[in-house]
């Protein structure tokens, strides 16, 4: 982005603030060195509001819009919004020196810019943290001229940094560099308690007292955890047009992201049924954690929370279609996001049908009986196992497969006690989906053969008992 001028675009002649209009240039991909960004001259921000109208200098309108810096705001809009901060100047009496900052928003960073009509940073307001600069020395610094500002978005800190140089417009004039912070991404600003953060001549090895000039730039170095400040300053008060560029580096407080969440839960199911999933993560600093579940079906939870570090949370989901889905989850604290978890695969399918149980419904204790179990799977998948309970207090009998859909599986069982029992059976497909239960009642009465055997034995010895009684008489 750069200010447009009448020399580049004479068709802007006559527009209010035309010399300071802002033309937006963009590129979908990082451009090759030497290749310009795509430029669309219709995509222009022009002065509209009273504080953007520039000033009249010998009958010529000067100023207007200037010093644009773009900032990406991730939590606004579907894909984040590009917020373009810019400076507006106005030439009414006593106000030219007090430049003002506002912003314009664009969903795609290229078109349909919506301007905020109210300056969010106005040093002429006594409540503004930069008002001190407008006061005469020694209460303030008595600076006049164009104050250049640069804004830098910071996702970790969740806000915008602004560094500005208060100096003569064209030459180094004992300028100072100040710092301000916006926790709401540009609507309110807080001054640093040590402003100015850098003053000329304050360090033996620092910038000479001829002062700073033009717009400083603040870069966030994520890899090496530091801030890098670049600025210009004069080095010879007698040759103010000669400038040098300096760099200042400050360490950035390190804030580690939460651990990658651990996800547990069922890995199979049937469509339309809700299943619970557990997730937990730990933040190294003990900060609260937010979670984002991606269910693999083009739906997600968005950020939910906050939750205490280390706490296990439960989130449920139902899938409407048969298929294989990969659940992913990530965590974030107030500043940083974790990486995505490894995909957790869930297979949603139709359950196998309740088995047909073939076999007799009565019998005797101690005798082995054979039963046939047959289930079919609507998706034609194999049956992974049958889960059988004989109703006599013993654990489930798991018959491992795989078995073809519709294949009969024969299993035998012995009941050692009399009674009425209910045989239950369920089929599980190879994806782990369990179908409905089938039942078959069976009656195991007392064994009549054994009773007759003892009766006949008794009758065999009855004559002997009779003779013994006669002898005793």
Per the domain annotation, does 464 fall within a domain?
Answer: no
For residue 117, what pLDDT band results from cuts at 50, 70 and 90?
very high
Per the domain annotation, does 336 fall within a domain?
Answer: yes
| pLDDT reading at 7 higher than 80 | no
User: Using CB atoms within 10 A of its CB, is residue 429 exposed (0-12), middle (13-18) or buried (19+)?
Assistant: buried
Instruction: Give the pLDDT of residue 2.
Output: 34
Instruction: Give the pLDDT of residue 36.
Output: 60
Instruction: Give the pLDDT of residue 300.
Output: 96
In the chain, the percentage of residues whose pLDDT exceeds 70 is 74
Residue 365 and residue 324 in one domain: no
Q: Cis before residue 196, ω within 30 degrees of 0?
A: yes
Global pTM? 0.54
> Cβ of 458: how many Cβ atoms within 10 Å?
10
**Of 221, 251, 281, which residue sits at a domain end?**
251
Domain span including residue 336: 262-348
Instruction: Give the pLDDT of residue 241.
Output: 62
Instruction: Give the pLDDT of residue 452.
Output: 53
Residue 385 and residue 410 in one domain: yes
**For the residues 422-428, what does the mean pLDDT come to?**
96
**Residues whose CB is less than 8 angstroms from the CB of residue 238 and which lie 6 or more positions away in sequence, other chains included:** none
| Whether 86 contacts 65, CB under 8 Å | yes
Instruction: Give the pLDDT of residue 428.
Output: 94
In the numeric block, the tokens 């469509």 are attached to 271
Residue 328 and residue 375 in one domain: no
What is the count of structural domains for the chain?
3
Per the domain annotation, does 83 fall within a domain?
Answer: yes
**Of 316, 348, 380, which residue sits at a domain end?**
348
Closest CA to 424 of 383, 401, 392: 392
For residue 8, what pLDDT band results from cuts at 50, 70 and 90?
very low
Per the domain annotation, does 23 fall within a domain?
Answer: yes
The chain-wide mean pLDDT, for the chain, equals 81
Instruction: Give the pLDDT of residue 18.
Output: 45
**Phi-psi group of 100: left, alpha or beta (phi > 0 → left; psi -120 to 50 → alpha; rest → beta):** beta
**For the residues 105-134, what does the mean pLDDT come to?**
85
Per the domain annotation, does 470 fall within a domain?
Answer: no
Per the domain annotation, does 374 fall within a domain?
Answer: yes
Helix (H) or strand (E) holding 303: none
Residue 292 and residue 230 in one domain: no
Residue 36 and residue 151 in one domain: yes
Residue 166 and residue 97 in one domain: yes
**Residues whose CB is less than 8 angstroms from the CB of residue 473 and which lie 6 or more positions away in sequence, other chains included:** none
Residue 150 and residue 283 in one domain: no
Q: Cis before residue 7, ω within 30 degrees of 0?
A: no
- Tell me the C-alpha to C-alpha distance, in Å, between residue 283 and each of 316, 327, 343, 348: 23, 22, 21, 33
Residue 74 and residue 111 in one domain: yes
In the chain, the percentage of residues whose pLDDT exceeds 90 is 42
Per the domain annotation, does 458 fall within a domain?
Answer: no
- 79 or 37, which is more confident? 79
pLDDT digits (tens, 9 = 90+) for 386-405: 999 999 999 999 999 999 99
What does the chain come to in residues?
Answer: 473
Instruction: Give the pLDDT of residue 51.
Output: 83
| pLDDT reading at 61 higher than 90 | no
Per the domain annotation, does 110 fall within a domain?
Answer: yes
Residue 91 and residue 223 in one domain: yes
- What the block records as the tokens of 70 is 């773009």
Residue 86 and residue 55 in one domain: yes
**For the residues 339-344, what does the mean pLDDT come to?**
96
| Whether 369 contacts 342, CB under 8 Å | no
CATH number for 404: 2.60.40.10
Residue 242 and residue 388 in one domain: no
For residue 40, what pLDDT band results from cuts at 50, 70 and 90?
low
- 303 or 10, which is more confident? 303
């Amino acid at each position: 982005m750069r200010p447009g001028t009448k020399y580049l675009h004479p068709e802007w002649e006559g527009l209010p603030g035309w010399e300071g209009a802002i033309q937006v240039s963009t590129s979908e991909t990082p451009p090759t060195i030497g290749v310009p960004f795509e430029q669309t001259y219709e995509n222009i921000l022009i002065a509209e509001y009273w504080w953007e109208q520039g000033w009249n200098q010998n009958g010529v309108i000067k100023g207007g819009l200037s010093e644009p810096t773009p900032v990406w705001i991730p939590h606004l809009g579907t894909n984040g919004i590009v917020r373009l901060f810019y400076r507006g100047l106005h030439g009414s009496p006593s106000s030219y020196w007090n430049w003002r900052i506002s912003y314009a928003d664009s969903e795609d960073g290229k078109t349909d810019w919506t301007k905020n009509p109210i300056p969010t940073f106005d040093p002429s307001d006594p409540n503004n943290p930069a008002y001190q600069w407008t006061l005469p020395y020694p209460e303030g610094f008595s600076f006049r001229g164009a104050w250049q500002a640069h804004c830098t978005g910071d996702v970790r800190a969740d806000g915008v940094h602004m560094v500005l140089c208060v100096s003569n417009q064209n030459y180094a004039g004992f300028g100072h560099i100040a710092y301000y912070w916006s926790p709401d991404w540009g609507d309110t600003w807080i001054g640093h308690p040590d402003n100015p953060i850098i003053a000329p001549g304050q360090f033996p090895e620092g910038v000479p007292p001829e002062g700073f000039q033009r717009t400083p730039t603040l870069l966030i170095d994520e890899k090496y955890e530091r801030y890098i400040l670049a600025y210009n300053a004069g080095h010879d008060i007698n040759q103010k047009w000669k400038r040098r560029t300096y760099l200042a580096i400050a360490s950035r407080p390190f804030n580690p992201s939460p651990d990658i969440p651990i996800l547990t839960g069922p890995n199979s199911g049937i469509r339309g049924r809700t299943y619970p999933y557990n997730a937990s993560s730990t933040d190294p600093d003990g900060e609260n954690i937010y979670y984002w579940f991606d269910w693999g079906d083009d739906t997600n939870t968005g950020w939910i929370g906050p939750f205490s570090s280390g706490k296990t949370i439960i989130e449920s989901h139902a899938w409407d279609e048969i298929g294989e889905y990969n659940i992913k989850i990530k965590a974030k604290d107030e500043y940083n996001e974790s990486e995505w978890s490894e995909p957790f695969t869930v297979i949603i399918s139709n359950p196998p049908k309740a088995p047909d149980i073939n076999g007799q419904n009565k019998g005797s204790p101690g005798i082995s009986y054979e039963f046939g179990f047959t289930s079919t799977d609507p998706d034609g998948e194999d049956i992974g196992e049958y889960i059988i309970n004989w109703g006599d207090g013993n654990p489930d009998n798991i018959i491992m497969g795989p078995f073809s859909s519709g294949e009969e599986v024969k299993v035998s069982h012995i009941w050692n006690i009399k009674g009425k029992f209910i045989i239950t059976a369920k089929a599980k497909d190879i994806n782990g989906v369990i179908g409905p239960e089938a039942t078959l009642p069976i009656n195991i009465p007392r064994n009549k053969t054994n009773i007759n055997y003892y009766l006949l034995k008794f009758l065999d010895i009855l004559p002997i008992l009779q003779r013994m009684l006669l002898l005793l008489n």
